[in-house]
Chain A
Amino acid sequence: MRDRSALISKLLRERKSRESYIRSKLNVLLPSQIRGLRLRREMKQEELGNEAEMKQSRISAMERPGEVSFNIETLIRLAAALRVGLRVEFVPFSDMLTWENGFSQDSFSPTPIENDADFIQPEVARGKVDNISANTALRGSGAITERIEEFRPPRIPPTQFHDPMLPEGWNEAISRNARPCAGIR
């Protein structure tokens, strides 16, 4: 077995060792998260690929440790396709280790946006549901979906736009949210 104190002194001494250490953790935990989430959403690699506008073969490679060098844009596309957020954060090494030790693909289940009461209706999540997390209370009951369907952006009353430099008729047209003359810029 590897000697921990030797590794620690190496990590303290060499930047390259720290890079290797961080890379090895991420190279295992990122694929595991992607695979875990995809399976939880009952998606095939091809379906996730379509959603994220990537090839199935790329999704497959991203689910294998070390196979892909992830960039932030790729992770953003995957997160959006899987309907979850993404947090990239610099942390102490101890936090990274705690994250790794506590991570399990089987129980990894971030709430998708449509069920995320804390995000959609924070006031409900904060206090109106007694003793139960709003997410738990609303999830599965269809309440969130109903609330989304109920939600309509508030109507903003039209404001009178006026720019004295514009030609005649344009101000009225902009106020009506219409183009006065297509083709003129």
Chain B
Amino acid sequence: MTHNKKVIEFPQSKFTSWAFEDFVYPNRTNPVESWCEQQTDEVQEILNSALKDMAKTESHLNWTTWRRFLRGEARKHRIWEMGFYAEGRQYRIFGVFAGSKVVILLAGCYHKGKVYEPHDAIETAIKRAKALKEGTGTTNARQISSDL
């Protein structure tokens, strides 16, 4: 009986690129950017390139940097991690999705084995996700440099 099936075609939504925002404290300090600035040039460049690539890839599951949604307490806040490898270290950035095609970056760290540096990076990400919900934190658009 499948030949009589009525196929309803939904209009394909046009993909608009992802936008990235950094978590910002009410006093306007940007801890994500501060963390980035502490990293080497190569790490900063690979992060910029990765974000450029992610912005143009519609499904987050196809991001080459995509890792997983975190478990435990972080799971309640739908915090996920992305990652890349540079200069002998595994780098991780924690983030959340916000609205349509918007990503908020919460915190960055690197890890070797099971040790995160800073060691409380996940707790920090959870605190910042809570702050966003409670309105005690805000965001700032991250400029992805196309000329770098």
What is the interface of chain A, defined by CB distance below 8 A to chain B? 1-2, 4, 7, 10, 17, 20-21, 23-25, 27-29, 31-32, 35-36, 39, 63-67, 97, 100-101, 103-106
Contact = CB atoms under 8 A, between A and B. Distances in A.
6 contacts: A4-B147, A7-B41, A24-B42, A27-B84, A64-B84, A105-B62
Give the 4 A-B CB pairs with smallest separation, nearest first. Answer: A66-B85, A24-B45, A20-B42, A24-B46
Nearest to A64: B64
A17 B41 contact: yes
B50 interface: yes
Contacts of B62: 35-36, 39, 105-106
B49 to A, nearest CB: 4
B64 A31 contact: yes
Given A7-B148, A27-B86, A101-B52, A32 B42 contact: no
A97 B147 CA distance: 7
Contact of B64 (A2, A4, A28, A103): A28
Interface in B36-89: 40-42, 44-46, 48-50, 52-53, 56-58, 62, 64-65, 83-86
A66 B148 contact: no
B145 A4 contact: yes
A2 B44 CA distance: 9
Nearest to B91: A66
Contacts of A1: 33, 143, 145
Interface of B: 15, 33, 40-42, 44-46, 48-50, 52-53, 56-58, 62, 64-65, 83-86, 143, 145-148
B112 to A, nearest CB: 14
Contact of A105 (B41, B57, B143, B146): B57
Contacts of A64: 64-65, 83-85
Contact of B56 (A27, A35, A65, A105): A105
B145 A2 contact: yes
B85 A67 contact: yes
Contacts of A21: 41-42, 45
Contacts of B46: 23-24, 27-28, 65-66
A65 B45 contact: no
Contacts of B148: 2, 4, 7, 97
Contacts of B33: 1
Given A32-B64, A65-B85, A100 B41 contact: no
Given A28-B64, A32-B64, A35-B62, A101 B86 contact: no
B145 to A, nearest CB: 7
Given A24-B46, A35-B62, 14 more contacts: A4-B147, A4-B148, A10-B41, A20-B41, A20-B45, A24-B42, A24-B45, A24-B49, A27-B46, A27-B49, A32-B53, A64-B64, A103-B53, A104-B56
